[in-house]
Amino acid sequence: MDSQMKRGILEMCILYQFLSTDYYGYDIMVKMKRYFPDVKDSTFYVILRRLNAEGYTDIYYGNTSNGPQRKYYRITEHGKKYLNTSLESWKQLKIITKELGIS
């Protein structure tokens, strides 16, 4: 898959996960790895970083009772708007490809 396209899809998938709950870096990587086993962890990290840099997510630190300190990511309002736009584009793309007989 084209890396640019893959990145866009991964971005959308990761942001979508943040709608339901906040995740720490490793947690979201493990979850995404189940669906995208060929993608390197570094790619997920780069996407997380980009989402944060663009202001689509913000971070906060949390502690678990016995475990290490964790850096949690949560979606921002700006991120929700961006996700909605991405989802709209994705739906349109699905309709177009279906009409073209792809899939």
Question: Does residue 71 interact with other proteins by CB under 8 A?
Answer: yes
**Stretch binding other proteins (CB under 8 A), from 10-18, 36-44, 74-82, 87-95:** 36-44
Q: What distances in angstroms separate CA 50 from CA 29, 42, 63, one per listed residue?
A: 15, 12, 24
> Cβ closer to other proteins: 23 or 86?
23
What minimum distance in Å lies between the beta carbon of 26 and other proteins?
4
In the chain, % helix, strand, coil (3-state, to 5) comes to 65, 15, 20
> Cβ closer to other proteins: 60 or 97?
60
C-alpha radius of gyration, the chain, whole number: 15
